[in-house]
Amino acid sequence: MGAIRSITRWLLLCTLVGVVAGLAAIAFYWMLAFAERIFLDGWAGYRPPGPGGEHPILLESAAPFSRWVLLLLPALGGLISGGLVFWLAPEAEGHGTDAVIEAYHRKGGHIRARIPFVKAVASAVTIGTGGSAGREGPIAQIAAGFGSLLGRWLKLSPQERRILMAAGMGAGIGAIFHAPLAGGLMAAEVLYRKMEFEHEVIVPAFIASIVAYAVFATKFGWSPLFASPQFSFRNPMELIPYFLLALVVAAGAVLFIRIFYGVRDLFVRFRIPRFLKPALGGLVVGGIGFFLPEALGTGYGFIQRGFEGQMVWQMLFLIALGKIATTAFSIGSGGSGGVFGPSVVIGGALGGVVGLLTQQFFPALGIQPGAFMIVGMAGFFAAAANTPISTIIMVSEMTGDYHLLVPSMWVCIIAYVLVRRSSIYEKQLDSRIDAPYHLSEMMGEVLKRLRVRDALRPPEHEPTQLIDEGMHLREVMERFADSTHISFPVVDQAGRLVGMINEQQTRALISDPGLDPLVVARDICVPLPTVTESEDLASAMHKLALVRDAEIAVVDPADPKKVIDTLGRRDLIRAYDRKALELN
- CATH number where 573 lies: 3.10.580.10
- Residue 358 CA, distance from chain mean position: 37
Burial class for 511, CB neighbours closer than 10 Å (0-12, 13-18, 19+): exposed
Per-residue pLDDT, 518: 78
Buried b (16+ CB within 10 A) or exposed e, 493-505: eeeebbbbbbbee
User: CB of 187 within 8 A of CB of 227?
Assistant: no
The span from the CA of 180 to the CA of 212, in Å, is 8
- Please tell me the distance from the alpha carbon of residue 328 to that of residue 322, in angstroms, as a whole number: 10
Structural domain span for residue 250: 2-434
User: Considering 400, 434, 468, which residue would you say is the last residue of a domain?
Assistant: 434
DSSP code at position 66: -
Instruction: Supply the DSSP symbol for 547.
Output: S
SS3 563: strand
Q: Where are the beta strands (DSSP E) in 218-282?
A: none
Q: Is the dihedral of CA 302, 305, 306, 310 positive or negative?
A: negative
DSSP per residue, 397-453: HHHT--TTHHHHHHHHHHHHHHHTT--S-TT-BSSGGGSHHHHHHHHHHHHHH-BHH
- 248 and 131 in a common domain: yes
Of residues 381, 285, 377, 388, the one with CA closest to residue 331: 285
φ, ψ dihedrals at 345, nearest 5°: -65, -45
Rounded distance, CA 219 to CA 464, Å? 74
Paired strand residues for 94: 336
Indicate whether 430 and 540 sit together in one domain.
no
> What is the DSSP pairing of strand 467-468 with strand 487-491?
parallel
Output the pLDDT for position 549.
Answer: 57
What is the DSSP secondary structure assignment for residue 114, as one 8-state letter? T
The contacts of residue 581 (CB under 8 Å, 6+ apart) are none
State whether 148 and 254 are in the same domain: yes
Whether residue 417 is found in the same domain as residue 535 = no
Task: Determine the pLDDT at residue 516.
Answer: 67
Gap between the Cα atoms of 181 and 186, Å rounded: 9
- Residue 512: count other Cβ atoms within 10 Å of its Cβ: 11
Query: How far, in Å, CA of 541 to CA of 370, rounded?
Result: 60
- Secondary structure of 296-350 as H, E, C letters: CCCCHHHHHHHHCCCCCHHHHHHHHHHHHHHHHHHHHCCCECECHHHHHHHHHHH
CA nearest 125: which of 189, 175, 82? Answer: 82
CA atoms within 13 A on the CB side of 131: 41
Task: Assess whether 354 and 464 both reside in one domain.
Answer: no
Render 342-402 in DSSP notation, one character per residue.
HHHHHHHHHHHHHHHHHHHH-GGG---HHHHHHHHHHHHHHHHHT-HHHHHHHHHHHHT--
Helices assigned H by DSSP within 53-198: 67-88, 96-106, 115-128, 136-153, 158-176, 180-189
According to the model, what pLDDT value does residue 460 have?
59
Cα–Cα distance between 296 and 410 in angstroms, integer?
31
145 and 227 part of one domain:
yes
Cα–Cα distances (Å) from 225 to 50, 79, 160, 515, in that order, read 10, 31, 32, 82
Pairing of strands 530-531, 497-502: unpaired
Rounded-to-integer distance, Cα 147 and Cα 108, Å: 12
Are 421 and 463 in the same domain?
no
Q: What is the largest CA-CA distance in the chain?
A: 104
| Sign of the CA dihedral running 22, 10, 92, 282 | negative
- Which of residues 434, 464, 489 is at a domain's end? 434
Q: Are residues 411 and 485 in the same domain?
A: no
- Give whole-number Cα distances, 90 to 78, 270, 500, in Å: 14, 17, 50
Residues 292 and 390 in one domain: yes
From 391, 419, 434, the end of a domain falls on: 434
d(CA 140, CA 138): 5
CATH number of 189's domain: 1.10.3080.10
* Torsion sign (Cα): 121, 224, 341, 285: negative
Q: How far is CA 23 from CA 91, 272, 445, in A?
A: 23, 38, 40
Residues 331 and 421 in one domain: yes
Q: What is the pLDDT along the chain (584 residues), one digit of tens a residue?
A: 667 888 888 999 999 999 999 999 999 999 999 999 999 999 999 999 999 888 888 888 889 999 999 999 999 999 999 998 888 888 777 777 888 899 888 888 888 888 888 888 999 999 999 999 988 888 888 899 899 989 899 888 888 999 999 999 999 999 999 999 999 999 999 999 988 899 899 999 999 999 999 999 999 999 999 998 889 898 899 999 999 999 999 999 999 999 999 999 999 998 899 889 999 999 999 999 999 999 999 999 999 999 999 999 999 999 999 999 999 999 999 988 889 999 999 999 999 999 999 999 998 888 999 999 999 999 999 999 999 999 999 999 999 888 999 999 999 999 999 998 899 999 898 888 777 777 666 777 778 888 898 888 776 566 778 899 988 888 888 888 888 788 889 999 888 999 988 877 777 776 666 676 778 888 888 888 999 999 998 888 888 887 765 788 999 988 989 998 888 888 888 888 887 777 66
Residue 309, sorted as left (phi over 0), alpha (psi -120 to 50) or beta, turns out to be left
Q: Is the dihedral of CA 288, 294, 300, 304 positive or negative?
A: negative
Is residue 77 within 8 A of residue 334, CB to CB? The reply is no
Sheet holding 530-531, edge to edge: 530-531, 552-556, 559-567
Torsion angles phi and psi, residue 18, rounded to 5: -65, -40
- Do residues 412 and 456 share a domain? no
SS3 55: coil
**Kind of pairing, strands 487-491 and 559-567?**
unpaired
443 lies in the same domain as 430: no
Helix (H) or strand (E) holding 476: helix 473-481
Total number of domains constituting the chain: 2
